[in-house]
Amino acid sequence: MSSKTVSTLRSTAAWRMSAKTTIAFAVGSAIAFAIMYMMAAREVQRRSDAWLSGEAGVLSDISLKTPRDALNDRIVEEVAELASREVPGELNIKGRQVNTVFFLVTGKDIPPIFVGTGSREDVLSALNAVQFEPGVPQSVHIAGWKKPFRVVYHPRGSDGGTYLGFADIDAARMLRRLTIGFVLVWCGMVMLGFLISFGGAYRTLMRVERITEAVDRIGSEDLASRLPVSNSSDEIARLSATFNRMLARIEASVKQLRLITDSVAHDMKSPVTSIRGSLEIALSDGQDGRWREPVANAIESLDGLLRMLNTTLDLAEAEAGALRVQKEPLDLSELMQQLTDLYHPAMAEHRQELSLKLESQVIVDADPVLLNRALVNLLDNELTHLPTGSSITISVQVVGNAAQVLIKDNGPGFPAELRDRVFDRFVKGAHSKGHGLGLAFVNAVAQAHGGNVSIADVTTGGAEISLKLPMAPVLTA
Amino acid sequence: MRLLVVEDDPGIQQFLKRALFEAGYQVDVASDATTAETLALEGVHDAFIIDLGLPDMDGLDLIARCRSQGILAPVLILSARRSVDERVRGLEQGGDDYLTKPFALAELLARLRNLLRRAATPQADSATKLSVGDLQLDLIRRDARRGDRTLQLTPQEFSLLEYLCRNAGRVVTRTMILDHVWRMRIDPQTNVVDVHIYRLRSKVDHESAKPLIHTIRGVGYVLKDS
């Protein structure tokens, strides 16, 4: 698996979900082990302490009863026997360090007798540092030994005592083996658990992903298509079913909207057409000049009203994703060249300087009528909102895998209060003569083609508007 | 020339009838598809003007029914829908034409003339010279003269003048100019077309006692020798 695949996997929800459950599982099982470990260690110590206390009592008795001259031999004998006897829980493994015992007898009447491994001085100094209670095992650290000794003290006479020390190395070893075993099993379990939960979550979420892809594919063009529904009735199958119901509702409302807009368009346009036609007849056959002016004004106002009605209906359709887009391959540069040929004299009339930077063969898949109207809106904007003497630069270029129309000017820029909503309907500057639908329409057309439009203020003053459309797939000859 | 207008809106029906009559056509009208079909089957009409939104039948179905019964006269379709669907575009390729409402009367008349001319002579207009008054256009050499003065025109201005000359005496709208000279069905809210006309006029009618290019306010422009 390449690092890229891993980083892709790591960005999935499946990864996050299974990582969380795995961490919870790992921490939980580690805590459970720690508790078990502590209980086991305590039990082992309790048993070995019980044994130790018994033996210490016996040895203390012996040291009291045995005559002083025979004491040394007797104690060596006893300890040797003790060491050879099996202690509870001990496993005799050849070649290993086994449990370690020492016995120390002190008193005024005798020199200290020490039997066992290690040096007597180390043991003596360690024991002197500890306060003992008779018969109760205590942990004592002795220099040179990793494991503390459990030591039981019995008083002997007025100023002496017997000490029996025992380091249960075997129990420690058992506990270490237990720990190692657990860590290995724990690692395996955590990894296996992660793989299983990741696999499960991944498979489940891939079904969600497939739904996402399918919904994404079902654009405005094919609202009639539906997601595949599996036979199971789990959450994800229900999600598909819910999406399908939603799609059905959207399809119904888009149909309804088309019906309404078409009927509104029809109902309003027919009377307007007949009014306009009658006015035109009046205009063409009248010889009397007195009412020519008001009739011409009426026609011009009607045309303005109709333009607004048309754009409003277009926008209503576009916002519902119901814009009818009939795509064909178009050369965006060629289109822009034709449009600027059309606009150039009007711009020159406003003493606006126009420069073009057109890359050749910028082919997009677009509806020619919609795209033309969108571009006309942009050019109309420049023409009406720029003061005379401004300069405009229009570029058509390929940026990444998108075709871009970039229109820059050195005019006043967009009014600050409009900047965030220039693409909303009916948003326009205080002095604008337009109806505030132009840029909203451009935005709708861009989105219907899978593109986008954005504005920016140029640092050197002026505004910049960028329309991006996806490039048409390259045709190989 | 006899026309059949199929339109359910009484207002439009009335003004179309009057306007077409004044333009010199004989006009029959029908308000629904059934009546229209009966009238059409008489086979006496040179062209049809059919609204798509009829009360009893879709206009396209009416056209299909007439066609299947051997009625081949060209059709000018009127549609209230702005976005024209595939079927209408198909008809357009089949020699018929469409107009979206609202339309300028001048444009309807121009399109109708086109349809009738194409139906009469299928060949393209093969004239190589056009003249209106003392204005002469050579379509092959692409130069224009006014009297003995050669006009210095850009290729675009020449195309515009050619279009005006071809429609000499008839009003053309801005939409028609955009459609025929720039080949775009657009509707700018600015005076871009007017500026082209002013520029052309300043060259054609410069220092001339008799201006040829006239503005009809509210409608469009006309080139005529009056």
HEC string of B144-205 equals: EEECCEEECCCHHHHHHHHHHHHCCCCCEEHHHHHHHHCCCCCCCCCCHHHHHHHHHHHHHC
Cβ distance B80 to A314 less than 8 Å, yes or no, reads no
* Domain limits for position A384: 328-470
A458-462 contacts at long range (C-beta below 8 A, 24 or more positions apart): A458/A408, A458/A410, A458/A413, A460/A410, A461/A410, A461/A412, A461/A413, A462/A390, A462/A408, A462/A409, A462/A410, A462/A411, A462/A412, A462/A413
State how far the Cα of A316 lies from the Cα of A467, in Å rounded to an integer: 21
Give the A:B interface size as CB pairs under 8 Å: 134
SS (H, E, C) A325-361: CCCEEEEHHHHHHHHHHHHHHHHHHCCCEEEEEECCC
Percentage of chain A with pLDDT > 90? 17
Instruction: Provide φ and ψ at B84, rounded to 5°.
Output: -90, 130
The contacts of residue A382 (CB under 8 Å, 6+ apart) are A347, A352, A392, A407, A409
| Distance from the A261 Cα atom to the nearest Cα atom in chain B, whole angstroms | 9
State how far the Cα of A277 lies from the Cα of A280, in Å rounded to an integer: 5
Do A350 and A288 reside in the same domain of the chain?
Answer: no
Do A73 and A165 reside in the same domain of the chain?
Answer: yes
pLDDT digits (tens, 9 = 90+) for A168-186: 877 888 888 989 999 999 9
Do A106 and A168 reside in the same domain of the chain?
Answer: yes
In a domain, A211, yes or no: no
Quickly tell me which residue has 């290993």 as its tokens. A96
The contacts of residue A179 (CB under 8 Å, 6+ apart) are A37
In a domain, A227, yes or no: no
3-class SS of residue A19: helix
Do A401 and A314 reside in the same domain of the chain?
Answer: no
| Distance from the A193 Cα atom to the nearest Cα atom in chain B, whole angstroms | 58
- The whole-model pTM stands at 0.60
Q: What is the CATH number of domain B2-120?
A: 3.40.50.2300
pLDDT of residue A98: 55
Nearest CA in chain B to A299: B218
pLDDT digits (tens, 9 = 90+) for A138-165: 888 887 777 888 888 888 777 778 888 8
pLDDT digits (tens, 9 = 90+) for A418-462: 776 677 666 666 555 555 667 888 888 898 888 999 888 777 778
Lookup: tokens for A75: 């104690």
Cβ distance B81 to A262 less than 8 Å, yes or no, reads yes
Do A290 and A309 reside in the same domain of the chain?
Answer: yes
3-class SS of residue A156: strand
Nearest CA in chain A to B185: A369
State how far the Cα of A201 lies from the Cα of B166, in Å rounded to an integer: 73
Instruction: Name the H helices within A119-234.
Output: 120-128, 169-217
pLDDT of residue A266: 62
Q: Give contacts of B9 with chain A, Cβ < 8 Å.
A: 270-271, 273-274
Among B106, B185, B218, the residue with its CB nearest the CB of A295 is B218
Cβ distance B182 to A342 less than 8 Å, yes or no, reads yes
Task: Of A203, A187, A477, A440, give the one whose Cα is nearest residue A361.
Answer: A477
Where does a domain end: A302, A319, A336? A319
Distances (CA, A) of B203 to B136, B150, B200: 14, 10, 5
Where does a domain end: A124, A156, A175? A175
pLDDT digits (tens, 9 = 90+) for B50-78: 988 888 888 888 988 888 888 888 999 98
Instruction: Answer whether A411's CB lies under 8 Å from B224's CB.
Output: no
- Give the bridge partners for B43, in sequence order: none
State how far the Cα of B51 lies from the Cα of B54, in Å rounded to an integer: 7
Cβ distance B183 to A270 less than 8 Å, yes or no, reads no
| Distance from the A352 Cα atom to the nearest Cα atom in chain B, whole angstroms | 13
Average pLDDT over all residues of chain B = 86
Among A284, A314, A384, the residue with its CB nearest the CB of B190 is A384
Cβ distance A280 to B22 less than 8 Å, yes or no, reads no
A149-156/A160-167 β-pairing: antiparallel
Lookup: tokens for A68: 């002083």
Do A42 and A157 reside in the same domain of the chain?
Answer: yes
Average pLDDT over every residue of A278-300: 80
Helix (H) or strand (E) holding A404: strand A402-409
Instruction: Answer whether B196's CB lies under 8 Å from B157's CB.
Output: yes
Cβ distance B192 to A383 less than 8 Å, yes or no, reads yes
ipTM of the complex: 0.78
Instruction: Provide φ and ψ at B175, rounded to 5°.
Output: -60, -40
Among A274, A307, A346, the residue with its CB nearest the CB of B12 is A274
A353-358/A363-366 β-pairing: unpaired
Neighbours of A70 (CB within 10 A): 10
B135-138/B129-132 β-pairing: antiparallel
State how far the Cα of B151 lies from the Cα of B158, in Å rounded to an integer: 9
Q: Which of B79, B105, B108, B193 to mutate to test the interface with A (most CBs of A within 10 A)?
A: B105
In a domain, A282, yes or no: yes
pLDDT digits (tens, 9 = 90+) for A102-123: 888 887 777 788 887 777 788 8
Topology of domain B129-223, CATH = Arc Repressor Mutant, subunit A (1.10.10)
Please tell me which residue, B59 or A67, carries the higher pLDDT value: B59
Does position A296 have pLDDT exceeding 70, yes or no? Answer: yes
Do A20 and A150 reside in the same domain of the chain?
Answer: yes
| Distance from the B188 Cα atom to the nearest Cα atom in chain A, whole angstroms | 6
Does A228 sit behind a cis peptide bond, omega within 30 degrees of 0 on the bond before it?
A: no
Do A117 and A246 reside in the same domain of the chain?
Answer: no
The contacts of residue B159 (CB under 8 Å, 6+ apart) are B181
Cα of B148 vs its chain's centroid, Å: 32
Quickly tell me which residue has 């070649």 as its tokens. A95
Q: Give contacts of A373 with chain B, Cβ < 8 Å.
A: 186-187
Q: Give how many domains chain A has, as a whole number.
A: 3
Chain B neighbours among A 292-321 (CB < 8 Å)? 292-293, 295-300, 302, 306-307, 310, 313-314, 317
Where does a domain end: A175, A203, A227? A175
Q: Where are the beta strands (DSSP E) in A51-177?
A: 100-106, 113-116, 138-140, 149-156, 160-167
Q: Give contacts of B191 with chain A, Cβ < 8 Å.
A: 346
Cβ distance A266 to B80 less than 8 Å, yes or no, reads yes
In a domain, A214, yes or no: no
Average pLDDT over every residue of A230-245: 83
pLDDT digits (tens, 9 = 90+) for B108-152: 998 898 888 887 765 555 678 888 888 999 988 889 999 888 999
Q: Which of A254, A273, A312 to mutate to test the interface with B (most CBs of B within 10 A)?
A: A273
The contacts of residue A136 (CB under 8 Å, 6+ apart) are A53, A152
pLDDT of residue A334: 92
In a domain, A2, yes or no: no
Task: Of B40, B13, B15, give the one whose Cα is nearest residue B29.
Answer: B13
In a domain, A366, yes or no: yes
What is the 3-state composition of chain B as percent helix, strand, coil, each rounded to the nearest 5?
A: 40, 25, 40
Cβ distance B182 to A341 less than 8 Å, yes or no, reads yes
Task: Of B44, B35, B41, B1, give the one whose Cα is nearest residue B20.
Answer: B1
Task: Of A477, A33, A470, give the one whose Cα is nearest residue A219.
Answer: A470
Do A288 and A342 reside in the same domain of the chain?
Answer: no
Percentage of chain A with pLDDT > 70? 87
| Distance from the B168 Cα atom to the nearest Cα atom in chain A, whole angstroms | 16
State how far the Cα of A248 lies from the Cα of A243, in Å rounded to an integer: 8
CA angle A187, A192, A195 (to 5 degrees): 130
Q: Which of A270, A338, A350 to mutate to test the interface with B (most CBs of B within 10 A)?
A: A270
pLDDT digits (tens, 9 = 90+) for B167-207: 888 889 898 899 889 888 888 888 899 999 999 999 998 87
Do A267 and A380 reside in the same domain of the chain?
Answer: no
Q: Where are the domains of chain B?
A: 2-120, 129-223
Same fold, B2-120 and B129-223: no
Cβ distance B182 to A271 less than 8 Å, yes or no, reads no
Q: Give contacts of B171 with chain A, Cβ < 8 Å.
A: 284
Residue A386 sits in a domain of what CATH number? 3.30.565.10
pLDDT digits (tens, 9 = 90+) for A321-374: 667 788 889 999 999 999 999 999 999 988 989 999 999 889 999 988 889 989
* A229 close contact with B: CB closer than 8 A: no
User: pLDDT tier at A84 (50, 70, 90 boundaries)?
Assistant: low
In a domain, A99, yes or no: yes
Do A361 and A305 reside in the same domain of the chain?
Answer: no
Cβ distance B80 to A343 less than 8 Å, yes or no, reads no
In a domain, A181, yes or no: no
Do A276 and A382 reside in the same domain of the chain?
Answer: no
